[in-house]
Chain A
Amino acid sequence: MTTSSTSGLPKLTYHVWTVWRRNFDVFMKTWHVNFLPSLIEPILYLLAFGFGLGTFVTEIEGISYIQWIAPGLVAITVMYGSFFECTYGSFVRMYYQRTFDAIIATPINVEEVIAGELLWGATRATFNSAIVLAVVAAFGLISSPLFLVMLPVAFFGGLLFAALGMCFTALAPNIDFFNYPTFLLITPMFLISNTFIPLATFPSQLQTIALAVLPLTHVADLSRILVVGKVETLGGLSPEWVLILAVFWIAIVTTVLFILAIYLMKRKLIK
């Protein structure tokens, strides 16, 4: 707690970065282990799906299958890095390690603790996607000069998934609860949000749903234009409108979830 209000916009100061820094220090202690999944996973996916499945699926929208899924892998990394950091990771720090309680007894308030966690989740997403981008580049699959713009997109997309995860952390009665959002939300997105399978091949109603409610669709669309310079007509929208929708959708939903996550966590932590 800090002040008595439990509503309104969160009160944040530079202390947010002190919380971020705590997580960064822990991460750097074992950085080589933390970078490993982001390095190995995309290589395996590119080998299995790109070369393996790619021998059957030869071409999508004028590019090879392996090149089509590469931006999808970057987007998936953004989602996994931040969502799991702010569900399992934050839950362990909150519930098992009581780290949040310890920090709240210092001049840092609870909103700043949560904001620091969310920014950290976004940072992890950015680190991880940078590695995946490097792998994708090593495979020679980058064909847009704008690919570095994917890093800020990864940060904001990461902030979205971090905030989404944190909302579940605020509602989770125990750590096993995360199986629900993981298998009902994250895994479906992993498969259908224009990542491994072109969304344009699905029925138009499903395309509309994916554009309306699945955040990964928008991150994947932005990733595909920035990494390989391609985007398709989806849900009846022209490629330009798909991109405009993606930018605004991410901006608005990230803001809403950021405030909601802090509100829900405050309600949970302040007793």
Chain B
Amino acid sequence: MQIAGATASVNTMASQVLIKARNLTKRYNHFTAVDHINFEVYKGECVGFLGPNGAGKTTTVRMIYCFSPVTEGELTVAGMNVSTNSREIKRMVGVAPQEDNLDPDFTVLKNLQVYARYFDIPKAEATKRAITLLEFFQLEEKQASAINELSTGMKRRLILARALINQPQILIVDEPTTGLDPQGRHIVWDEIRSLLKQGVTVILTTHYMDEAAALCDRVLIIDNGKIIETGVPQELVKKHVGEDVLEVSYDEDVLKTLKEELPEAHIEIFGDQIRVFMSQPHGVFEHIITKFSGVNMSIRNANLEDVFLKLTGRKLRE
């Protein structure tokens, strides 16, 4: 089912860069939320903006969809400047914000119809698109329901459906699965994957690393308003953490021995757990496990969360 208008796009001939930021900066009085960042988003990819709370990811995407004015630097979407062409840019972007801002005064179907009107979509066309979207997001049975009768997962899906009513080329999803149960998350992931297959460019912000790994072609890790790393999820894991992680129950003697045995390893304490990261762990971890038989140890695959915590540290934000 064709949902988005991206495949029939206008700019296939031109450069594949759809969004470009140069020294992009956002300041609130004396607080710098986004600090001279540079990035590109290519047509058809899924880019994840990752970062702890308050890192600047939502501020960055809000500048992309022309909600927040740029303080300094340059930001273009499809070659248009966000400061001067906001109306044109907003026409080609779909936004699924983090908070629920569905219109509680209308039913599910009417929410989509009224939103379509904001894009000047004629009523018959709006209704047709709305029905298609409700089917795609498995909400067709709820079309006459009030918003407050929907579950959190249904509301998230309706927000995604609403973001697609203008058949956008770029879909911005700000923390799409926060607060959802595992079933709900997987439904949303499948739907985003299906949109990617149709050629929609997706910008995703999240602080769930499994989500980023599951969906994103590329991630930008943001902290304190700066991009501190960027790349393909699997490659970042390899580069910063290696393939495996050794997890050991915390014990002072074991920790001391580990440090002596593995001087080149990166060892971190996570609560009551010791985590050992090594660039060349093959055979070494197995050797350690045999040596410390009796101590609770296990080897697991390294993941994006390890990268994230290594790069952004463990200090609680907010």
Question: CB within 8 Å of B: which residues of A?
Answer: 1-4, 15, 18, 21-22, 25-26, 29, 97-99, 101-109, 270-271
Does B118 contact A103, Cβ atoms closer than 8 Å?
A: yes
Per-residue interface assignment for chain B, residues 234 to 245, with 1 indicating a CB less than 8 Å from any chain A CB and 0 otherwise? 000000000000
Does B68 contact A109, Cβ atoms closer than 8 Å?
A: no
- Which of chain B's residues have a CB closer than 8 A to the CB of A107? 87, 90-91, 118-120
Does B101 contact A101, Cβ atoms closer than 8 Å?
A: yes
Nearest B residue to A110 via CB reads B67
- Which of chain B's residues have a CB closer than 8 A to the CB of A98? 99-101
Does B101 contact A99, Cβ atoms closer than 8 Å?
A: yes
- Which of chain A's residues have a CB closer than 8 A to the CB of B114? 22, 25
B103 interface residue per 8 A CB criterion: yes
- Which of chain B's residues have a CB closer than 8 A to the CB of A99? 101, 103
Interface residues of B: mostly helix, strand, loop or mixed? loop
B38 interface residue per 8 A CB criterion: no
Does B86 contact A3, Cβ atoms closer than 8 Å?
A: yes
- Which of chain A's residues have a CB closer than 8 A to the CB of B91? 107
Does A106 contact B66, Cβ atoms closer than 8 Å?
A: no
Q: Which of B66-122 contact A (CB under 8 A)?
A: 66-70, 83-84, 86-87, 90-91, 95, 97, 99-106, 110, 114-115, 117-120
Does B105 contact A105, Cβ atoms closer than 8 Å?
A: no
Does A106 contact B97, Cβ atoms closer than 8 Å?
A: no
Per-residue interface assignment for chain B, residues 183 to 200, with 1 indicating a CB less than 8 Å from any chain A CB and 0 otherwise? 000000000000000000
B49 interface residue per 8 A CB criterion: no
- Report 8 cross-chain contacts, Cβ distance below 8 Å, ordered by A residue: A1-B69, A2-B86, A4-B83, A22-B117, A25-B114, A98-B99, A108-B118, A271-B68
**Looking at B87, B99, B110, B118, which has the most chain A CB atoms within 10 Å of its CB?**
B118
**Looking at A15, A25, A102, A106, which has the most chain B CB atoms within 10 Å of its CB?**
A106
Closest Cβ of chain B to A271, distance in Å, is 6
Does B68 contact A102, Cβ atoms closer than 8 Å?
A: no
Nearest B residue to A113 via CB reads B118
Per-residue interface assignment for chain B, residues 141 to 160, with 1 indicating a CB less than 8 Å from any chain A CB and 0 otherwise? 00000000000000000000
Nearest B residue to A15 via CB reads B118
Nearest B residue to A30 via CB reads B105
Closest Cβ of chain A to B165, distance in Å, is 9
Does A105 contact B90, Cβ atoms closer than 8 Å?
A: yes
- Which of chain B's residues have a CB closer than 8 A to the CB of A4? 69-70, 83-84
Q: A1-B69, A1-B86 are in contact. Are A106 and B106 (CB under 8 A)?
A: no
Nearest A residue to B59 via CB reads A271
- A102–B174 Cα distance when bound, in Å, is 13
Does A270 contact B69, Cβ atoms closer than 8 Å?
A: yes
Nearest A residue to B83 via CB reads A4
Q: A105-B95, A270-B69, A271-B68 are in contact. Are A97 and B103 (CB under 8 A)?
A: yes
Nearest B residue to A23 via CB reads B105
Does A26 contact B105, Cβ atoms closer than 8 Å?
A: yes
- A4–B115 Cα distance when bound, in Å, is 25
Does A105 contact B83, Cβ atoms closer than 8 Å?
A: no
